[in-house]
Amino acid sequence: MTTASLTVVVADPNLTPLRAEFEAALPHGTVVHWPDPRHTEAVEAAMKSADVLVSGRCTATMATVATRLRLVHAAGAGTDNIGIAALPPGTQVANTYHHENAIAEYAVSATIVMRRGFLRQHTALRREAHWDTPAHDPRAPWAEDLTAATVGFIGFGHIGARCWQLFQAFGARGIAVTRGGNVDAAAHGLLWSGTVENLGTLLESSDAVVVSVPLTDDTTGLIGAAELSRMRPAAVLVNAGRGPVVDEDALYQALSDRAIGGAAIDVWYRYPADGHTGAPSKHPFDTLDNVLMTPHSSGLTRQTFAHRTADITANIRRLAAGEPLHNVVAVAP
């Protein structure tokens, strides 16, 4: 089969550690440029000859200079930072996933850490040599394992469903609500499923709540003060979806007041504008001892990006061979 030679610009820093694997999977003769994504001018200069851009970001200026562009491939699910309307007509936009295994590991491990009190015990033993366990201190609370837990899923797509598979292995019970309400509870081994109209019932019934819905107009602030007040006092909230799905002020207040047992927060309300330093919220979540804070890292494993690399390079091979692409989410008008 005859393939066309392509010029590919990779401007996603997460793929840099996989550069050798990425280039080895491309068609013979492919030219690959790896400009520093932090230097916009370098990326724009490389794009003047690009047939393919691998990045979740493509500004109007970048699109304007890339007159040969045929494909913009995000190295993840998000394509909201790609200016599709500015792309050359017919340019295809594709994405990839493969983060569900890593996020599921995060959801289960974070739930265990919070419910078992490992954060509290770690701090007590490290800082005070205090053995914070009923075996040594009768004042210490007994922890609960997952066989005693009902896990509520807000969102049950590929992430929620994979999370549930891992929770099942620990003997937990599961319930779920989704926007469409089309989850077959029996087929998935859930106690029940419903729509967001059943959100209050889910919150009242859950020992752990896993949030994995995308951020839309309908889901922004989906969980506010009223919803948090319906959670059980010892319940744990795990947000691996998007920060603003859970109201920032209401969550901080609930955690400060210990109205809920705790939260594992991986997705935030503020991100660094540049570099790797920046407060994730206007509130000092870092001062609370019932919060596990992670920097939007739940899906970031080498395996996640190895699978994404395979998807992206396969699509580039298809493009070179004139074959239909997979995971196309938009085409520039």
pLDDT digit string (tens) for 258-270? 999 999 999 999 9
Residue 2 located in a structural domain: no
Verify that 184 and 269 share a domain, yes or no: yes
- SS3 of residue 178 by DSSP: strand
For residue 4, pLDDT beyond 80: no
Q: How many domains does the chain have?
A: 2
For residue 1, pLDDT beyond 60: no
**Tokens representing residue 150 in the block:** 């009902």
Q: Which domain holds residue 261?
A: 100-293
Verify that 188 and 254 share a domain, yes or no: yes
Q: How many CA atoms lie within 13 A of 196 on its CB side?
A: 14
Residue 71 located in a structural domain: yes
Verify that 242 and 109 share a domain, yes or no: yes
DSSP 43: H
Verify that 247 and 311 share a domain, yes or no: no
Local confidence band at 3 (pLDDT 50, 70, 90 cut-offs): low
**Tokens representing residue 222 in the block:** 């989906």
Per-chain mean pLDDT for the chain:
96
Verify that 111 and 85 share a domain, yes or no: no
Residue-level pLDDT at 273: 85
Residue 236 located in a structural domain: yes
For residue 2, pLDDT beyond 60: no
Verify that 281 and 316 share a domain, yes or no: no
Residue 241 located in a structural domain: yes
C-alpha separations of 23 from 128, 212, 321, 328 in Å = 52, 33, 17, 22
Residue-level pLDDT at 78: 87
Verify that 204 and 319 share a domain, yes or no: no
Residue 162 located in a structural domain: yes
Return the number of other C-beta atoms located less than 10 Å from residue 332's C-beta.
19
For residue 290, pLDDT beyond 70: yes
For residue 209, pLDDT beyond 70: yes
| pTM, 2 dp | 0.90
Residue 138 located in a structural domain: yes
**Tokens representing residue 206 in the block:** 């859950």
For residue 118, pLDDT beyond 60: yes
Contacts for 164 with CB less than 8 Å, ≥ 6 apart: 151, 153, 156, 174, 176, 188, 189, 190
Please compute the mean of the pLDDT values over residues 178-189 and round it to a whole number: 96
Structure-token match 């061979």, residue found: 321
Residue-level pLDDT at 17: 96
Q: How many CA atoms lie within 13 A of 24 on its CB side?
A: 6
CATH number of the CATH domain containing 39: 3.40.50.720
pLDDT digit string, tens, across residues 292-329:
999 999 999 999 999 999 999 999 999 999 999 999 99
Verify that 276 and 309 share a domain, yes or no: no
- SS3 of residue 232 by DSSP: coil
Verify that 177 and 37 share a domain, yes or no: no
C-alpha triplet 162, 78, 266: angle, nearest 5°: 55
